[in-house]
Chain A
Amino acid sequence: MKNQDFEFLAGLLKDKSGLMLTPDKVYLLESRLTPLARKRGLDTLDALVMKLRTSRDDSLIKDVTEAMTTNESFFFRDNTPFDIFKNHVLPAMEKARTTKRLRIWCAAASTGQEPYSLAILLKEQWAKWQNWNIEIVGTDICTQVLEKAKAGAYSQFEVQRGLPIQMLIKYFKQEGDVWRINDDIKNMVKYRPFNLLDSFGMLGSFDVIYCRNVLIYFDQPTKKDVLERMSNTLAKDGTLFLGAAETVLGITDTLRPVRGQRGMYVPSGGNAEELMGLK
């Protein structure tokens, strides 16, 4: 790929989704965009770049942006953020929210495993929550993965990564090669397309945010911007979970890590440790 074509694509992607591409990732552009070029009736990646440069084809730009997202996810990924949710966040919220209203946001929901893991944990202690108004909102920039999330249909391989067998039995139905999550879990999660670079205004505020394994693709200023806007939508006693390779340290001081709890972050002013019995 020509250097200026790389620069052009990298600039476009940074602008549209925050994705930061370094020149060593040329192979990624090639392996993911060449099939897209063919699908669009273009012979080569060069032709695709030419088309992007010369026409403002929004649907093509969208396809390119989506093709460059990495959507890997699995149930109960890394375990700890889900253990903390169950053991500390939920008990604290149960006490603190006398309105019996709880709003949870999975900000890079991908194919749905993360929001469904949270829905399952709530369902496991449903007696406590059945009279609550609980919203789990799953958003992602990529509409294709959201379709899969909405369908709640997973392959044998996918249901074996992270999902305990008891939960497979309890919460899934088998349909041929596909394992489909039960409607009562599916109905607990609302999905909608959303770009983290856009204003969070329309989303409202949240008690818990999972924003995992997406900031790693952004540059420092974008991370800072997203995190600071997230801290504004997060309740004062709310909790943010980031991926294992992500942190707020050195990026923003509006949020701080909770000592001894991997991946857990809270608004800097608050006393989460006390609320959640983590002292």
Chain B
Amino acid sequence: MKLCLVVDDSKVIRKVARRILEELNFEIEEAVDGQDALDACDRNLPDVVLLDWNMPVMDGLEFLKAIRAKDGIEQPVVVFCTTENDMSHIRTAIEAGANEYIMKPFDREIIEAKFTQVGLI
């Protein structure tokens, strides 16, 4: 079973994502911001991170840059999942090393399509 770290400051979003991803056979861990996510990665490196952008403490982009800067780890696939839906945010995310990008609102179909594209399903 693949491990997916769901990073979002909204409990509701984490719950929805968890339900969809569990149905797709992922094991789920949750984090509430970028720093929390980095800590989670230190404890237990996930296969994939589903990553919100705007969060307190440390935002998604900062998390992405921090994790991509780490040497000697198996880099997880990172899929942004955010309400930021303009081209400049998308470009910024991809240039910083995101593998895919989901614009909220999302549903099961979009998650499944995007996770298939990056080869996780």
Contacts and interface: CB of A to CB of B under 8 A. Distances in A.
Interface of A: 74, 79, 156-157, 160-162, 164-166, 168-169, 173-174
A169 B87 contact: yes
Secondary structure of the A contact surface, majority rule: mixed
Contacts of B85: 156
A173 B114 CA distance: 20
Interface residues of B, number: 17
Interface string B91-116: 10010000011110010011001101
A160 B103 CA distance: 8
Contacts of B38: none
Contact of B94 (A74, A156, A165, A173): A165
18 contacts: A156-B85, A156-B103, A160-B102, A160-B103, A160-B110, A160-B113, A160-B114, A161-B113, A162-B113, A164-B100, A164-B117, A165-B94, A165-B100, A165-B101, A166-B94, A168-B90, A169-B87, A169-B94
A117 B113 CA distance: 15
B74 interface: no
A45 to B, nearest CB: 31
A193 to B, nearest CB: 29
Given A165-B90, A165-B94, A165-B100, 15 more contacts: A74-B113, A79-B116, A160-B102, A160-B110, A160-B114, A161-B109, A161-B110, A162-B113, A162-B117, A164-B100, A164-B117, A165-B101, A166-B94, A169-B87, A174-B86
B103 A169 contact: no
Contacts of A156: 85, 103
Nearest to B102: A160
A156 B85 CA distance: 9
A173 B91 CA distance: 12
Interface in B14-60: none
A169 B91 CA distance: 7
Contact of B110 (A79, A157, A173): A157
6 smallest beta-carbon distances between A and B, as pairs: A165-B101, A160-B110, A174-B87, A164-B117, A161-B113, A165-B100
Most chain B beta carbons < 10 A, residue from A74, A157, A160, A161: A160
Contacts of A79: 116
A229 to B, nearest CB: 34
Contacts of B94: 165-166, 169
Nearest to A161: B113
